[in-house]
């Protein structure tokens, strides 16, 4: 669709978001007042074709295509490889993006931010979310947003100032290590947090009854957007919201890449056992994967499809211990398991999955997250009546 003017684009985007469900009044007013195009660079990357590859788009050369992409409900990548890859080249890892508008609106709804609130945002990115927050909290509230990348921070600050959001305090800072503003009502992270590494200062600086919204992840699984509520005792407890998100990691939580499946899947040094559990069942569905991610949080997975003479293979690898496992079909209903290293990864994965099945296959929203000054846990509370 070609969009002739930005006003048309704003209206079309709002209509699309409204068609998917109720759009809170504060979010609606913010979307009308803060056009997304104000915060998208002239050069960007978008996924426009079925194979999911990123395509460069330049506003100067293709203004209609650029504007149509800006007002589509899609992710726009604004940086690859921490800025090492320059437009129009496509890099290996997206490191900054403008999230899908439906995700932004969903997160603002879960955050329940209101006029007069003091908000701390971790991950300024393009600055659009900070501007939306600034519009919602109004003159009586305050938004502090931090960005660890100096180039991104400077660009976002310029966009916020140009858009008139001078009251939004946009800082170059590490949202994990640096000092937070005093006593806030809301914290929102737009980068994923590893389980067990939730920054307790976010809790300590949030008023009792305040909300912290953060996407959580392990090496094996990502996506649960967890809504924490801070208690009077300084403990934050949370449940996963009813939406899946995909965010880049906090830079301080990144780990080095470690290829899964680099060695032979039939390595003779491995211990051989058998299972009747098809590995694709627990490893390829979000709800199924999560109990395994909690049981072996540093485990990574890869699944090879069957091609030619190579059988389908499920790989698991733990870079911390050097352990690995493969599961390969032998015949219908029987799979060969090879495991190597101090951890028996498939044994742990299968036990966690079967435990979850015995519990009735509860969804992600059933898990309970707890963060205290000296302990962090992800648990599945007992079923009622048991």
Do residues 185 and 207 lie in contact, with contact meaning Cβ atoms separated by under 8 Å?
A: yes
For residue 214, count other CB atoms closer than 10 A to its CB: 28
| Peptide bond between residue 163 and the one before it cis (omega within 30 degrees of 0) | no
Nearest to 282 by CA among 270, 265, 294, 298: 294
Q: Which residues of 328-346 are buried (b: 16+ CB within 10 A; e: fewer)?
A: bbeeeeebbbbbbeebbbb
- In 308-355, the DSSP E strands lie at 313-318, 323-331, 334-340
Q: Could you tell me which of 29, 11, 246 has the C-alpha nearest to residue 134? A: 29
Contact criterion met (CB below 8 Å) for 321 and 248: no
From the list 6, 19, 97, 99, the catalytic residue is: 99
Beta-carbon contacts of 308 under 8 Å, excluding residues fewer than 6 positions away, are none
Does the annotation count 129 as an active-site position? no
In this structure, the strands spanning 368-371 and 334-340 are unpaired
| DSSP3 helix / strand / coil % (the chain, rounded to 5) | 30, 30, 40
Helix (H), strand (E) counts: the chain? 10, 19
Q: What is the largest CA-CA distance in the chain?
A: 68
Quote the CA–CA distance of 67 and 9 in Å, as a whole number.
8
Helix (H, G, I), strand (E, B) or coil at 252: helix
Catalytic residues: 99
């Amino acid at each position: 669709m070609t969009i002739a003017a930005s006003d048309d684009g704003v209206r079309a985007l709002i209509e699309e978001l409204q068609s998917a469900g109720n759009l809170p009044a504060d979010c609606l007013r913010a979307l009308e007042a803060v056009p997304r195009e104000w915060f998208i660079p002239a050069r960007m990357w978008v996924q426009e074709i079925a194979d999911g590859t990123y395509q460069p788009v330049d506003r100067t050369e293709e203004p209609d295509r650029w504007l149509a992409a800006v007002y589509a409900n899609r992710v726009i990548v604004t940086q690859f490889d921490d800025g090492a890859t320059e437009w129009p080249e496509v890099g290996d890892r997206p490191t900054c993006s403008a999230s899908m508008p439906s995700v932004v609106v969903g997160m603002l709804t879960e955050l329940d931010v209101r006029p007069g609130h003091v908000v701390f945002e971790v991950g300024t990115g393009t600055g659009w979310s900070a501007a939306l927050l600034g519009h919602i909290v109004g003159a009586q509230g305050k938004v502090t947003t931090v960005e660890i990348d100096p180039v991104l921070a400077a660009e976002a600050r310029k966009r916020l100032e140009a858009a008139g959001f001078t009251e939004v305090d946009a800082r170059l800072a590490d949202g994990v290590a640096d000092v937070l503003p005093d006593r806030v009502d809301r914290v929102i992270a737009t980068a994923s947090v590893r389980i067990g590494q939730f920054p307790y200062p976010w809790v300590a600086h949030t008023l009792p009854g305040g909300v912290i919204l953060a996407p959580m992840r392990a090496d094996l699984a990502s996506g649960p957007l967890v809504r924490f509520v801070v208690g009077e005792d300084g403990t934050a407890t949370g449940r996963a919201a009813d939406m899946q998100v995909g965010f880049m990691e906090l830079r301080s939580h990144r780990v080095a890449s470690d290829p899964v499946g680099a060695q032979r899947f039939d390595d003779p040094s491995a211990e051989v056992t058998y299972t009747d559990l098809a590995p694709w069942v627990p490893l390829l569905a979000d709800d199924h994967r999560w109990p395994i991610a909690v049981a072996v949080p540093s485990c990574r997975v890869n699944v090879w499809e069957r091609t030619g003479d190579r059988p389908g293979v499920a790989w698991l690898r733990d870079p911390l211990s050097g352990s690995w496992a493969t599961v390969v079909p032998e015949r219908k209903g029987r799979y060969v398991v090879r495991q190597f290293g101090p951890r028996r990864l498939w044994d742990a994965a299968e036990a966690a999955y079967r435990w979850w099945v015995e519990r009735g296959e509860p969804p992600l929203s059933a898990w309970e997250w707890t963060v205290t000054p000296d302990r962090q846990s992800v648990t599945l509370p007992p079923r009622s009546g048991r």
